[in-house]
Each structure stands twice: as C-alpha cells, then as structure tokens.
Amino acid sequence: MTRRRRRQLFEKEISACSIFGAMDRSGERFRGDGVIKAIANMHVRGNGLGGGFAAYGIYPRYQDYYAFHIMFTGPNMEVKKDAKRVTDAFLAEGFDVVHDEEIPYDDQTRVRDPPLAWRYFVTPNKKGEEAKLPDEDYIVSKVMWVNTRIDNAYVFSSGKNMGVFKGVGFPEEIAEYFMLDRLYEGYIWTAHGRFPTNTQAWWGGAHPFGLLDWTVVHNGEISSYGTNRRYLEMFGYSCTLQTDTEVITYAVDLLMRRQKLPISVVSKILSPPIWNSIDKMSDRERKLATTLRMVYGPLLMNGPFTIIIAHEGEMIGLTDRIRLRPLTAATRGDMLYLSSEEASIRLISPELDEVWTPNGGEPVVGQLNCRKLV
C-alpha cells in the first residue's frame, strides 16, 4: 500500500492579544487565581511574547506610599546591579524610601531572561524649585527621568496601593513567576496576553502600562502613534518603551488626571464619532463633538483597538469607534468583567446577570459602590 504523502499544511497564526479585567465594585479584595485562569483560557490569542497583570488594593500596609516597581535589564547580573546602584542613588536624593525589596518570584518557573525586579515604597522629598510641584506631577517627572536617563532601568509601576507585574511569556507563566495567585489580593485585576506585531518583545514592552495608578491593557494597533507621541511630548511625556500602548497610558494620564476630564469626554477624544454620525447629532452634542475633534485632534487614536483602563476605584473598557477589536462585558452581583472572549468570563463565573457587546467608542465603566477603600 502506498501512502500518499501529505502536504505540510501551513500553520496559520490565529493569535491576537487577549485582555481581561475583573472588578469587585464593593471593594472586596480577591486573589488573582480566577483572572489567571480566565486569561490562560485565551492562550491561543497570544504567542508567549508578553503577559502581565495590574492589581489594585494589593499593598494596604503601604497604601500611603507610592509603590515603584522598577526593572533592571541587561545581559548579566553585573549590568543589572549597576543600573540598580544608579537608580538607588537617584531615588535616595528625591524620595524617602520607607521600604524596598526584590519583587518575590518563583525561580522554578521557566521564563526567558528575567530582569532584576525591585519594588520601592516611597514618599516624595521635594526640594528647591520642585517643592511647588504637586506630588503626582513630581512622580511623573521622576519616572520619566529614570526611564530616559538611567540606562537599563525602567519604572513599570508607580501608583499607590497597586502594582503591575509583567514580562515575556504567556500570562499564566508570568503569574506563576510572580506568584500572583498566592501573594496578592486586589479589588481590580486586569490582565493581558500579548501577540506583538510591530516591535520586538521585551519585559518592559509587555502590558499593562502604568503611570501613577493609571494602567492600560490593549489589544490592537495604534496607527496614529507618531502623531499622538509628538503631541504628548509637548506635555513632558517621553515614550521609551517601544510600543504603541504607552501613548494611551500617557494620554489617559493627561486627560483624566491632569485635565480632570470625565471618561464620557475622554472616550470621545480617543475614539471620536465619525463625521457622518456627528452630522446627525443635536446642536449641543454636535458642538461638543466638533470642538473635541478640533482641540484634541492629535490624541485621536486611529486604528483598531480595545483597551481596559484602570485606576484607583475604577475600571473602564473602551473599543475604537467602529469596534474593530472584540470586547465582551458582563456583570454578576458586584462583579464586573471585561474580556476579549465571553468563554473566559463563563469559565470563572458560569452564571451571569448580564452579558453584552459594548458599542464602539462607548465606555463601559465600573466604579466602587462606595469610594472608601480598605
């Protein structure tokens, strides 16, 4: 019997980033195991070149201090330690460091080329000219300084009572590496599985991106990156992490924290309605939409995207205006879930009160029922 040789089939990459977010709107903190299970269920959407988590409410002991997560990269330990020495000196000058330690990790987990990851709990020690700056602006300028001026050192998390954990690997591997299911409890968890399309994968380039307590996970591609970056540079943000998601984080920081715009307006800036739809609006709405497009034109995020933005007490899901990337939202009691795929939500919460497909450009917002935190 002669066997016909089968043609080797082209193995198609079916990947696309996966994002997931879970929030307990009562402020109850929960372990990360469910979120890890959910993001791992979307394994095929990523390709193992990036995974990460952001968790809110994880450092109640140090809740009044800014928690800096800093990675020191380099070909060997010497280089990493050198970067840490320079950073330590820099932090000692501008901050009171109340506690610092290596971020605990499981050395049994096989991840590629992990950096030295250290966390510092700090409070600003402002001197001279800088004494006039609000704390948050001070932190931002120092974070930008570390990221641009100190070789091989990157601050990847800088908020209070929250933390970003990320790296190169599948999200479930990163979770295992940082032991997220065992060590931390938070009331918001966001997660990301990456399929990098335009830039090389590295630990700093994984999602979430964070500045102060604002974090962003992102599925898609920002084709307006150049325009957005140049605009943000005028406000003192420098893009150093070699990926487009960074601009969303800084745009959100600029619009929501510094300019104090509500998400209903911010969503109209990042993913504005198209002119056809603006034409159909009432006079008032049309005036607002037109003004926003004129004033904030350079912050329009062009291209397909879905993002989950989180900061203290709030989680927001948003897609581009014509919904070119998936997002499913669901609620169960106080829980709000946002996910690239419904199956991942069902896996950890089989019964749901409501499940829906959010409209393009319309944010899904989850807020704490009471603003008081742990």
Partner 1 sequence: MDKFPPEPGPGLADCCQVHCRIPGPDESAFGRPPVAGGSVPDGATEKERGFTMDSREIDASGLVHRELNDRLMEAMLSGADRLVVRNVYGQRYIGTRLYQPGQSKKLEIEVFGTPGSDLGAFMSGHHIRVHGNVQDGVGNTMDDGEIVVEGRAGDVLGMSMRGGKIFIRDEAGYRTALHMKEYLDKKPVLVIGDSAQDFMGEYMAGGIVIVLALKKKAHRANFIGTGMHGGVIYLRGQVEKSQLGREVEIFELDDQDREILDRHVGEFLQRFPELKVSREEVLKENFVKLMPLSKRPYGKLYAY
Catalytic sites, residue numbers = 17
Closer of 40 and 206 to partner 1 (Cβ): 40
Of these, 328, 336, 338, 349, which contacts partner 1 (CB under 8 A)? 328
Q: Cα–Cα distance between 214 and 310 in angstroms, integer?
A: 6
Q: Give 139's contacts (C-beta < 8 A, 6+ positions apart).
A: 66, 124, 158, 212
Is 326 an interacting residue with respect to partner 1 (CB under 8 A)? yes
Q: Which residue has the tokens 């696309």?
A: 16
Interface with partner 1 by CB under 8 A: which range of 36-44, 58-66, 80-88, 227-235?
A: 36-44
**CB 318 to partner 1: min, Å:** 15
Neighbours of 8 (CB within 10 A): 6
**Which residues are 35's β-sheet partners?**
none
Contact characters 293-322, partner 1, x per CB under 8 A:
-----------------------------x
- The Cα–Cα gap between 265 and 255 comes to 9
Q: Which residue lies nearer to partner 1 by CB, 194 or 346?
A: 346
Least distance from C-beta 70 to partner 1, angstroms?
Answer: 36
Cis peptide before 134 (omega within 30 of 0): no
> 125 with 178: CB under 8 angstroms?
no
Instruction: Check: CB of residue 162 under 8 Å from CB of residue 105.
Output: no
Cβ–Cβ < 8 Å for 317, 358: yes
CB of 186 to partner 1, least distance (A): 24
**Selected binder of partner 1 within 313, 360, 363, 366 (CB under 8 A):** 360
- Residue 131 touches partner 1, criterion: CB under 8 A: no
State in angstroms the smallest separation of the CB of 285 from partner 1: 15
Contact between 12 and partner 1 per CB under 8 A: no
- Contacts (CB under 8 A) with partner 1, residues 264-283: 277, 280
Which residue, 14 or 234, is less far from partner 1 as judged by CB?
14
Beta bridge partners of residue 123, listed in sequence order: 96
**Least distance between partner 1 and beta carbon 272 (Å):** 15
194 or 323: whose CB is closer to partner 1?
323
Alpha-carbon span 347 to 364, nearest angstrom: 21
* Contact set for partner 1, span 37-66 (CB under 8 A): 41-44
Distance, in Å, from the CA atom of 314 to the CA atom of 175, rounded to the nearest integer, reads 22
Stated as kind and residue range, the H or E segment containing 220 is strand 214-220
Considering only residues 192 to 211 of the shown chain, the ones binding partner 1 according to CB under 8 A are: none
At closest approach, how far in Å is the CB of 270 from partner 1? 18
Q: In sequence order, what are the residues at sequence separation of 6 or more whose Cβ sits closer than 8 angstroms to the Cβ of residue 208?
A: 52, 53, 54, 164, 166, 190, 192, 215, 216, 217, 310
* Residues binding partner 1: number (CB under 8 A): 26
Our finding on whether 234 is near partner 1 (CB under 8 A) is no
**How big is the chain, counted in residues?**
374
Say if strands 18-24 and 188-193 run parallel, antiparallel, or are unpaired.
antiparallel
Interface ranges with partner 1 (CB under 8 A): 1, 6, 8-9, 11, 14, 41-44, 277, 280, 322-323, 326, 328, 341-344, 346-347, 355, 357, 359-360
